[in-house]
Structure 1
Amino acid sequence: MAAAVAAIRRSSARLSSILRFPFSTIAPHSEPPASAGPNPFSALRSAIHSESDPNRIAELFQSSAHLPRFHAHRDLFGFAVQKLARARRPDLVERVLSPFLSDPRSPKSEGFLVRFISLYSSAGMPDQAAATFDRIPDIIGRPRSDKSLSALLSAYLHNRRFDLVIKTFNRAPKELGISPGVISHNILLQALCRKGDVKTASNVLEEMGKKGVKPDIVSYNTLLSGYLKKGDDDRFEAILNEILNNKGLEPNVVTYNCRISKFCQISESRTAEELLEVMISKGIQPNLMSFGTIIRGFIKEGIVSAAVRVFKRMRTVKRKNGSESLSPNVEIYVLLIRGLIEQNEFCEALAICKECLTKKIAPPFEVVKELIDDLLRDSKVDEARDVVAKMRTITKGDAVDAWKKLEGALSL
């Protein structure tokens, strides 16, 4: 371990050298020459990835800020901010981002500043996102547009500041001189629905057309989802009919997922499965939520064999790029393992658990223990030991000691 840490520090030191010297004489905004040595941006990302000290991450990031076109490397900004946010260091996020807002080399564009609003949002810093929004006219020399308004509203929504979404939206036309477009309206609809105020959201949807803002499928899906969560069947069906009868709207995966959820809520998972096939036939690619909802529905109804069938169907559905099939997440694996154990289908539960472990996904310990206990009661000692061995291999970090303690209590 000490050797690995030393190697990382040597790599970081080499990066600092690379960042300080090879490009120090290059004019701003010029491209580094091909002969300049290792790609400094790749080296920086690698060093940040390896570094666990948030202060050092900030130092590495700042040491590269002088590089030509550094501001254009969005992934580096996002990656660094993500690591600092996970370390709960908003002070360091502010330290690495704020200089770019006053740097004369930074682009004087609204789009560039919208990126910073989004970065502050992802770091859980909506107040800094708002401060950036306020500075936009002074930095770019012209008024803000709906683009920056929607970015700020999204930051508030992402951080569950629903009242600020509503307040900012309402003051936009008169106080900010911005006419909210469809994206800003959609964010308002989401905030209202997440507050549980679907009635007001419905009124907003009706008013959009009167203001010359045409609602899109996202607008209607937001209301559809809101009424689904409210359990208002009549309004759910009314919004769904508007979608299906409006030639300007094309139902998408969210629309179908709402309908699938509705059927599963009323124990009609077979109908939901049929709708899944209709969806696929129309060229609309289902996602994990589509399959997970139906699997959960069948398990709730006690039809575990049908849940396994849907699970296997998932393997035949390709992702958008067509390169591979959808891969189950830990929630789907756990649903199936638990459901199969309840039905005493230990062989199938074991097979799915092994697949989960092969992908280095560790189910909750209590689920694994329940499976192991059942295998032992069924005299499948070797199979139980195999599960234990695989769990021991993939368990990492703070969970290692907890697993060792659990493993010691097993009758193996």
Structure 2
Amino acid sequence: MSKVGSSLYSRLHGIFKESSIATVKPTKPRKQTKSSKFPSKLKESSASSVALGDGSNSSNDAKESKATKLTRKVENFKKSCESESFRQIHGLYSAFIRRLREAKKFSTIDEVLQYQKKFEDIKSEDFVIRMMLLYGYSGMAEHAHKLFDEMPELNCERTIKSFNALLSSYVNSRKLDEAMKAFKELPEKLGITPDLVTYNTMVKALCRKGSMDDILSIFEELEKNGFEPDLITFNTLLEEFYRRDLFVEGDRIWDLMKSKDLAPNIRSYNSRVRGLTRNKKITDAVNLIDAMKTEGISPDVHTYNAFITAYRIDNNLEEAVKWYNEMKENGLTPDTVTYCLLIPLFCKKGDLDKAVEISEEAIKHKVLSRPNMYKPVVERLLGEGKIDEARQLVKNGKLQSYFRYLPNLSSGKKKTPSSPVSSPVLSDD
């Protein structure tokens, strides 16, 4: 690699050479904990169901019913796609594909996205880019690449924008070697000139891969082609260094960013806050928030989640609730991460009433649920014999996957509540 005087490459080289892969502190793997068994009453209910003839046939019927419901929802979604205004609502596509991804229905994802080729929108590069990114978020980058290759046949212009979407698809699918291969081979082959978005995407890919030498190579090429790194570039580096607990190197990147007259934003600060709270440097993290406020930057939900996460790991309910309350006092709405941290912690500490309260709060705010997000509170309600309360919580949230946990104690059979109003978007798990 050639030297570039006092360039950004040279300055970064001085930082990166002290942070070789061999010395990078690996991210600690999360402990895998076995799911706790459901209450004995639930087991007895299941046994009663078998005794009453509600056994394997019932299970097969349930599977068939689930498949039928999925087919109907897919057909409803495809029918909705016939509307031009519906096709312009990105969120509906993202929500539907996400549900399919969580259910591991990858062939159905391909079916739904292939269906979009029948519309005139497919001639729009922006529309194709949306399809490619949905493939990428689903771990189906090869399908995104296939669609990229088909763009000329679809009478759709192929520019640096769709090439960048292809790279993002590989990165989001965590297929980093494939992203590097496409970056090295396709621009010259297709006559496409990389832009700053291209380089930022590759910096993100190489940070995930952990290759400092390759990151330096990207920066050297970036400079040779006349580009200057922007705030996105530096924020990507900051997130990587602080995530790996390389504070000295991260702080040098911070100083380098400011030397280029790039002011840190909330994402910059959050990367630093997460690194500090993860290492139990709470006082330093609080001081950083104070410094952030003096620069006119207010903490967001991710800032508070960093503190809640730290105290959740320590099972410190009092401090976790303190930051949760401060978040709300500052007019912020907790997100999925907040509730996924707090609901099981309240249950673990035996405060079932509060667990129910914040579960209902999450439902009221229409917070996107995650698999098993409400499982701890449903389990605990059933364990204490509060079947009606559990059923009401599941019903209020239209939490389809939790219906199976609710026995009808009078007959020993599971009660199947009426389904919520049908929607082209799959219901929450």
Give the alignment's TM-score, normalised by structure 1.
0.66
Alignment of 1:155-304 (within 5 A): 155-247=169-261, 249-298=262-311
Aligned length: 330
2:162 corresponds to which of 145, 148, 159: 148
Is the 1:208–1:214 Cα contact (8 Å) retained in structure 2?
yes
Sequence identity of aligned pairs in percent?
A: 25
* Alpha-carbon distance, 1:400 to partner: 5.5
SS of 1:120's partner is helix
Match of 2:361 in 1: 359
Residue type matched to 1:161 in 2? K
Tell me the distance in 2 between the aligned counterparts of 1:388 and 1:243: 56
* Alpha-carbon distance, 1:100 to partner: 4.1
Tell me the distance in 2 between the aligned counterparts of 1:318 and 1:129: 39
1:60 has 2:60 as partner = no
Residue type matched to 1:355 in 2? E
SS of 1:139's partner is coil
Tell me the distance in 1 between the aligned counterparts of 2:107 and 2:375: 36
* Alpha-carbon distance, 1:280 to partner: 4.0
1:137 has 2:139 as partner = no
Match of 2:413 in 1: none
Which string of whole-angstrom CA distances, capped at 9 and with x for unpartnered residues, describes residues 269-326 of structure 1?
Answer: 022123224334534343333112223335667876544432221112234xxxxx44
Match of 1:40 in 2: none
Distance 1:246 1:83, change over 3 A: same
Residue type matched to 2:361 in 1? K
Is the 2:141–2:170 Cα contact (8 Å) retained in structure 1?
yes
* Alpha-carbon distance, 1:239 to partner: 0.7
Tell me the distance in 2 between the aligned counterparts of 1:88 and 1:301: 33
Match of 2:114 in 1: 98
1:128 corresponds to which of 143, 162, 165: 143
- Structure showing greater relative contact order (alpha-carbon pairs closer than 8 Å, 6 or more residues apart): 2
Tell me the distance in 2 between the aligned counterparts of 1:182 and 1:336: 43
Tell me the distance in 2 between the aligned counterparts of 1:95 and 1:154: 22
Deviates more, 1:283-292 or 1:393-402: 393-402
Is the 2:312–2:341 Cα contact (8 Å) retained in structure 1?
no
Tell me the distance in 2 between the aligned counterparts of 1:354 and 1:240: 42
Match of 1:317 in 2: 330
Distance 1:159 1:277, change over 3 A: same
Residue type matched to 2:253 in 1? I
* Alpha-carbon distance, 1:364 to partner: 6.7
Residue type matched to 2:73 in 1? I
Which string of whole-angstrom CA distances, capped at 9 and with x for unpartnered residues, describes residues 354-374 of structure 1?
Answer: 53243267867668989999x
Distance 1:299 1:123, change over 3 A: closer
Match of 2:341 in 1: 332
Tell me the distance in 2 between the aligned counterparts of 1:390 and 1:198: 54
* Alpha-carbon distance, 1:327 to partner: 5.3
Tell me the distance in 1 between the aligned counterparts of 2:110 and 2:231: 37
Match of 1:25 in 2: none
Give the alignment's TM-score, normalised by structure 2.
0.64
1:394 has 2:410 as partner = no
Which string of whole-angstrom CA distances, capped at 9 and with x for unpartnered residues, describes residues 232-290 of structure 1?
Answer: 3332121111123321x221222111211232244320221232243345343433331
Is the 2:381–2:389 Cα contact (8 Å) retained in structure 1?
no
Tell me the distance in 1 between the aligned counterparts of 2:335 and 2:260: 34
* Alpha-carbon distance, 1:180 to partner: 1.7
SS of 1:209's partner is helix
Alignment of 1:39-78 (within 5 A): 53-63=69-79, 71-78=87-94
Residue type matched to 1:294 in 2? F
Tell me the distance in 2 between the aligned counterparts of 1:306 and 1:69: 46
Residue type matched to 1:189 in 2? V
Residue type matched to 1:134 in 2? D
Is the 1:296–1:335 Cα contact (8 Å) retained in structure 2?
no
Is the 1:57–1:80 Cα contact (8 Å) retained in structure 2?
no
Match of 1:38 in 2: none
Larger Cα Rg: Structure 1 or Structure 2? 1
* Alpha-carbon distance, 1:96 to partner: 3.9
Tell me the distance in 1 between the aligned counterparts of 2:99 and 2:284: 44
Match of 1:111 in 2: 126
Structure 1: unaligned runs, 5 residues or longer: 1-50, 320-324, 374-383, 406-412
Match of 1:18 in 2: none
Match of 1:47 in 2: none
Match of 2:28 in 1: none
Tell me the distance in 1 between the aligned counterparts of 2:236 and 2:347: 32
Tell me the distance in 2 between the aligned counterparts of 1:311 and 1:68: 41
* Alpha-carbon distance, 1:135 to partner: 1.9
Tell me the distance in 1 between the aligned counterparts of 2:139 and 2:321: 39
Is the 2:125–2:162 Cα contact (8 Å) retained in structure 1?
yes
